[in-house]
Each structure stands twice: as structure tokens, then as C-alpha cells.
Amino acid sequence: MAYQIDLTGKVALVTGASSGLGRQFACTLASAGAKVILAARRLDKLQDLQNQIQANGQEAIVVPLDVTDQKSIETAVSMAYEQAGEIDILVNNSGVSKTQKILDVQPEDFDYTFGANTKGAFFVAQAIGRRMLLRAKVAQDSNQVLPQQRIIQVASITGLKAIAQISVYCMSKAAVVQMTKAMALEWGRYGINVNAICPGYIETEMTAAHWQTEAGQKLIQKLPRKRVGQTQDLEGLLMLLASDQSSFMNGSILVADDGFLVQ
């Protein structure tokens, strides 16, 4: 018997949806039937993606979002709920990185990375979590079944293993790992499952050129199967965490790195 995850009737908000993993995640969720809210700073990219999704007969809404701006977070979340109704799934994907040796890191570099990867992720999850908690408490008060609500944090294997010359990025993603566990601990009783994906080396439009360089080729030769992943390699894991089938998973930190951490 065929097995398929159907997200028809679900609403999913994806941050950093203008490119890379966020774009792939948004397309995957839409293909599974979810109404997708596309959130990022680059509205032209979001509108192109919205047109693509709608051309396939699926639903997508665009909201501007700068995760480093608290007012922008509050406005984007309000717009999302006004236009789409209750949000069932948050994919907290926005992030940035800089390659630097530790002695070269300046305070503004530190703030740039932590502002987007840690602080931004935290306050987006907080804003959505607040609404999810309210929805859950209304259900509890009326003796209804708790809605299945999901927060999926996009962390990194660098949150579990230090990598040279991206120390601040590693630290910021390690914080996301602990953030995931803390939110799972506080919100799990309300049917809000918070889990994290830790991708390994993935090729995106931003990193594609690097893999063609001498340094990029040398790194590939050090990987277990001498290859980098594609954004679609994370689809199955995303779909599991977004669905009701992950109801027994909370606070899980799931690695998808082609074996990098076990070598």
C-alpha cells in the first residue's frame, strides 16, 4: 500500500523563503497541499516563487520579514494570521554566515550572525508560539482535542561540531539546538512539537560557485561519500516533522549530513 503525507488544510509559514532551503521547503509543503506563507526580505524573489506555486494550482501568500527587526517580525506575523488564519507549521529557516578566523571577528560581525540566526529565530518562534499556545488553550478550555502544531528549526551540523573559520556561525546554531529543546520542554504539553533539522553541506544558489573552486573541491574530497547534498535531499525529513506522523517527536535534533558527523 502506498504511503503519502497529505498536508491539505494546513497552513505553513517559511522564513528565508526567497532562496536556498527555504525556497525548497516552501515548494515541498505547497506540493503536499499546505497553504504556504512565504516570508523574507527580498519581495521580488518571493513574488516569483508565489507565481510558481500558484501556477501549479497551489496556495501561497507573501509577507515581508526581516528577522533582525522586532517590529518587522510582529508586523509579518500579524499579516500572516490576517491573510491565512491559524498557522499550523513554522519552518524557522532564516540565517546568515561569515567566514572568518576567530581573531578577525569584530563585534558587528558577531551581532550580524547572532542577530539573524539566534535572536531572529527565537523571536519569530516566540511570536508564532504565542499564537499557537493561545489556540491550544482555547481547545483545552472547551475540552477539544489539541491541534497538532509544529515548529521546525533549521539548525546545522555546525551546531553539533565546530568547523574552522565559522566559529560564530557554529555558536549561533548551537544556540538554536538548545532553543529547540527549551521550547519543546515548555510547549510540548500543549501539542506544539518543536524539532530541529541539522543539515550537512548542501548546494544552494549561494554556495554553488564555492563547490567549483579549488577549496570547495578539496572539501568535497574530505566528505564521506565525496559529494554535497541537494536541497531536495531534506524533503522527507521536513515532511515528517511537518506532519501529524511526528506526534511522538518533540525536542528531537535530526541530522541529515550524509554521514559527516560519524566519520
Model confidence over 178-206: pLDDT tens digits? 999 999 999 999 999 999 999 999 998 87
CATH number at residue 72: 3.40.50.720
Residue 4 is assigned to a structural domain of this protein: no
Q: What would the pLDDT profile of 49-88 be if each residue is shown by its tens digit? A: 999 999 999 999 999 999 999 999 999 999 999 999 999 9
211 occurs within a structural domain: yes
The answer to the question of residue 51 being in a domain is: yes
Catalytic one of 3, 81, 112, 169 = 169
For residues 146-164, average pLDDT: 97
Does the residue 2 lie in any domain?
no
* Residue 1 forms part of a structural domain: no
| 3-state SS record for the chain | CCCCCCCCCCEEEEECCCCHHHHHHHHHHHHCCCEEEEEECCHHHHHHHHHHHHHCCCCEEEEECCCCCHHHHHHHHHHHHHHHCCCCEEEECCCCCCCECHHHCCHHHHHHHHHHHHHHHHHHHHHHHHHHHHHHHHHHHCCCCCCCEEEEEECCHHHCCCCCCEHHHHHHHHHHHHHHHHHHHHHHHHCEEEEEEEECCEECCCCCCHHHCHHHHHHHHHCCCCCCEEHHHHHHHHHHHHCHHHCCCCCCEEEECCCHHHC
Domain residue limits at 84: 11-262
Number of domains in the chain: 1
Mean pLDDT, range 156-177, rounded to an integer: 96
169 is catalytic: yes
